[in-house]
C-alpha cells in the first residue's frame, strides 16, 4: 500500500490531496485510496495527519482492520509513540490475521528498530498460520512468499542455521543471486571499506541487485494491464475513435494483454495483474485528471488507479481457473495456450 517514490521526485502532500478527492468521488473504494493518501503524508513528514487518516479508517469498520492498524503502528513508532505502537502490534499478533500484509508490516517495523528476535517470532507465527501444513508443494501466494523471504533475511542477521522454511524461500527465489548472498550482513560491512574501488564495486552491485528485488517486494499493488470487455471497448471506440490506434480490434487487444504480461513475467516482474475498465469509470478518471478520455496517455494511469483501488485480478490464473478474458474457458485452453 505504500508508494515507493523518492521524496524529491513527488509532491507527496499534493498527491495525498488528490487521493483524498478521488476517495470522495468513489466512496466505495475509500479504504485503499485513503491508505495511499496516508502513506504519501508519511513521506511528506506529516505523520500526525497520517495517523488521523488511519483513525478515520478504523472508525469506519474497514475491510482490512489489521492492515490499517499495522500501518498506524509503523507510523506512530517513527514519530516517538513507541509504547502505543507496541501495544497495537501486540494486538495484531494476538488477533492472528490470515492476511500476510499486516504480518509483514509489523515484522518490518520491528526489524527497522533492531527488534530482530521479535521480528523473527512474528514471521514464524505468521507462516505457521499461512503455509499449507498438509501440502508443502502447494502453490504459495506471492505475499506469503514475501514473508518467507523476510524471515530468511532476519535469520541471517541473527546468524541462525537454515531450517526447512529457509530452504523453501531459497527454492522460491527467482533472481540470479542467492538469498544467502543477498542477505549476508558481511556485504554491508564492506561499505565501510577504505578502498574506493571496493566501495564503488559494492555500491554498483547492491544497486543492480536490489533495484528489481526491492521493487518487486515493495510494490503496493500489482503491475496491472488494462482489459476492456468487448461491449465496453465498442462503446469506448464509438465515443473516442482516435483510440482505435491503441485497440484495432478486440481480439488483438486480448492477445496484446497476454503477450505483455508474459513479457513482463519473463523479465522477472512479479505481482502481475489485470484490471477491467468501464467507459463511465474511465471518463470520470479523465475528468479528475483534467484531461480528455481520448488522450491515450491516460490509459496506463487509469490501469494503475484501478489497481490501487484493489480492482486487479492476479495473472496468470491458477490451474483449472477460467481465462481472464471472460470466455468461460479454462485459461490453459484459452489465452494460456498461446
Q: What ranges do the domains of the chain cover?
A: 12-184, 185-218, 223-337
**Residue 270 CB contacts under 8 Å (≥ 6 apart), including other chains:** 142, 174, 216, 219
CA distance 283 to 289: 10
Give the tens place of pLDDT for each residue, 185-221. Answer: 766 555 556 677 766 766 666 566 555 444 444 445 5
pTM (predicted TM-score):
0.60
- Give the model's pLDDT for residue 222: 67
Name the more confident of 172 and 9: 172
Average pLDDT for residues 109-132, to the nearest whole number? 93
Would you state the pLDDT for residue 304? 85
10 Å CB burial of residue 174 (0-12, 13-18, 19+) is: exposed
pLDDT at position 320: 83
**pLDDT-based confidence at 122, cuts 50/70/90?**
very high
Q: Which pLDDT score, from 0 to 100, does residue 132 have?
A: 79
The CATH T-level fold of domain 12-184 is 1.25.40
What is the mean predicted confidence (pLDDT) over 233-238? 94
State how far the Cα of 332 lies from the Cα of 142, in Å rounded to an integer: 21
Give dist(CA 310, CA 94) in Å, integer. 26
Q: What is the pLDDT of residues 316-325, one digit of tens each?
A: 988 888 999 9
Average pLDDT on 288-310 reads 85
Query: What's the average model confidence in pLDDT over 143-153?
Result: 91
Amino acid at each position: 500500500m505504500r508508494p515507493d517514490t523518492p521524496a524529491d521526485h513527488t509532491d507527496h502532500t499534493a498527491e495525498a490531496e488528490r487521493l483524498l478527492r478521488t476517495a470522495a468521488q468513489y466512496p466505495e473504494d475509500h479504504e485503499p485510496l485513503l491508505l495511499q493518501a496516508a502513506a504519501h503524508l508519511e513521506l511528506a513528514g506529516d505523520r500526525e495527519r497520517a495517523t488521523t487518516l488511519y483513525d478515520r479508517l478504523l472508525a469506519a469498520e474497514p475491510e482490512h482492520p489489521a492492515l490499517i492498524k499495522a500501518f498506524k503502528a509503523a507510523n506512530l513508532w517513527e514519530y516517538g509513540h513507541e509504547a502505543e505502537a507496541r501495544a497495537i502490534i501486540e494486538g495484531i499478533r494476538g488477533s492472528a490475521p490470515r492476511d500476510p500484509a499486516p504480518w509483514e508490516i509489523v515484522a518490518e517495523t520491528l526489524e527497522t528498530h533492531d527488534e530482530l528476535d521479535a521480528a523473527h517470532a512474528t514471521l514464524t507465527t505468521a507462516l505457521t498460520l499461512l503455509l499449507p501444513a498438509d501440502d508443502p508443494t502447494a502453490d504459495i501466494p506471492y505475499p506469503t512468499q514475501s514473508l518467507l523471504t523476510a524471515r530468511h533475511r532476519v535469520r541471517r542477521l541473527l546468524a541462525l542455521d537454515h531450517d526447512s522454511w529457509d530452504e523453501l524461500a531459497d527454492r522460491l527465489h527467482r533472481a540470479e543471486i542467492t538469498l544467502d548472498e543477498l542477505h549476508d550482513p558481511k556485504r554491508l560491512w564492506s561499505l565501510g571499506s577504505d578502498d574506493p574501488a571496493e566501495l564503488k564495486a559494492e555500491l554498483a552491485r547492491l544497486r543492480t541487485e536490489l533495484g528489481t528485488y526491492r521493487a518487486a517486494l515493495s510494490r503496493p499493488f500489482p503491475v496491472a494491464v488494462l482489459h476492456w470487455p468487448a461491449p465496453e471497448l465498442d462503446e469506448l471506440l464509438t465515443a473516442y475513435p482516435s483510440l482505435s490506434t491503441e485497440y484495432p480490434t478486440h481480439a488483438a487487444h486480448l492477445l496484446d494483454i497476454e503477450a505483455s504480461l508474459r513479457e513482463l513475467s519473463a523479465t522477472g516482474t512479479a505481482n502481475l495483474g489485470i484490471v477491467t475498465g468501464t467507459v463511465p469509470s474511465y471518463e470520470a478518471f479523465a475528468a479528475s485528471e483534467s484531461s480528455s478520455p481520448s488522450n491515450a496517455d491516460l490509459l496506463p494511469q487509469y490501469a494503475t488507479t484501478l489497481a490501487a483501488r484493489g480492482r486487479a485480478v492476479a495473472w496468470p490464473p491458477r490451474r483449472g481457473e477460467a481465462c481472464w478474458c471472460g470466455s468461460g474457458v479454462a485459461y490453459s485452453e484459452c489465452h494460456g495456450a498461446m
